[in-house]
Amino acid sequence: MSLEDVKKRFDELIRTGKSLLPFQSSSLDYLAKKDTWEAQCQVLLEKAFEKDSIYLQKFRNALTYGNKEAHITHGVALMEAAREEFDLEIKSDKLAKVKKEIREEKPEAPFIPITIQNIQGDVNAPVIQAVRSEFNFNQQVTESFKQVQIIVENREGISPKLKEEIREQLRLLQEELTRQEPNLGNIQKLWKWLKQNASWIVPTLTSIVMEGIKIAMG
């Protein structure tokens, strides 16, 4: 299966999962489709990552919930997070190859940071500008945390107090990730707390938090 086929398969299974909502306990045909979808998701997660990947573990854990609809809502959220990380890994590999080629072709060319300035008047000479936009990253942070908020609200078996603490830690983490100059120590501290107290949301946030850590490290 090619990389593109894997991504398409993720998209297909995510659409299928969403089409299974809301849960229907009275339909045998529906239950068969749900079981098939769950099996297909596990097969794909194992192919895309590894047998002991956190996505596969969390997906299987979700299937043990007493709330059958949570099997699907959490399963879809995990598949979306896995799809995003799989795509990110592919892009990272491609970027690494491009950077390697550039270094090999022009090892003497240094990177020169350029500050954007408002240029007025007639300018005849060509101007090179370098732009570092954070819009896309901030948008990804917003989307990822929206998914997590849904997972938290639907989570059963935890106390209202813990749920409120999780909401607060998520709010602080989202706020830190989207700062113009994020604090690495704060991100790591908040992420550690969430992994210890709400490990079931880790798959959804892992890729975006790792990217935020890279930005904070400069």
pLDDT tens profile 24-37: 887 899 999 999 99
The encoded tokens of residue 102 equal 């550039």
Q: Would you say residue 135 has pLDDT above 70?
A: no
The stretch 165-170 carries a mean pLDDT of 95
Residue-wise pLDDT tens digits, 81-130: 999 888 877 766 555 554 455 455 444 444 334 344 444 444 443 333 33
Please classify residue 89 by burial: count the beta carbons closer than 10 Å to its beta carbon, then call 0-12 exposed, 13-18 middle and 19+ buried: middle
Residue 171 phi/psi, 5-degree rounding, is: -60, -45
Contacts of 115-123 with CB under 8 Å at 24 or more apart are: none
**Which pLDDT belongs to residue 92?**
60
Where does the pLDDT of residue 168 fall: very low under 50, low under 70, confident under 90, or very high at 90 and above? very high
| Nearest to 212, CA basis, from 113, 155, 136, 105 | 136
The stretch 64-88 carries a mean pLDDT of 91
Residue type, 72: I
Q: Would you say residue 209 has pLDDT above 60?
A: yes
**Which pLDDT belongs to residue 58?**
93
Q: Is the Cβ–Cβ distance between 140 and 208 less than 8 Å?
A: yes
Q: Is the Cβ–Cβ distance between 62 and 71 less than 8 Å?
A: yes
Residue 5 CA to residue 208 CA, distance in Å, equals 24
In terms of pTM, does the model score above 0.85?
A: no
Residue partners of 60: CB distance under 8 A and separation at least 6:
42
**Which pLDDT belongs to residue 96?**
53
Q: What is the mean pLDDT of the chain?
A: 81
Q: Which of 12-21, 24-33, 209-218 has the highest mean pLDDT?
A: 12-21
**Which pLDDT belongs to residue 51?**
81
Q: Is the Cβ–Cβ distance between 27 and 68 less than 8 Å?
A: no
Q: Is the Cβ–Cβ distance between 169 and 193 less than 8 Å?
A: yes
Q: Would you say residue 212 has pLDDT above 60?
A: yes
Residue 209 CA to residue 184 CA, distance in Å, equals 11
**Which pLDDT belongs to residue 191?**
93
The stretch 188-208 carries a mean pLDDT of 90
> In the chain, pLDDT over 70 holds for what percent of residues?
78
Where does the pLDDT of residue 200 fall: very low under 50, low under 70, confident under 90, or very high at 90 and above? confident
Task: Note if the bond before 22 is cis, omega within 30 degrees.
Answer: yes
| Nearest to 3, CA basis, from 79, 80, 87 | 87
Domain spans of the chain, in order of start: 3-86, 125-217
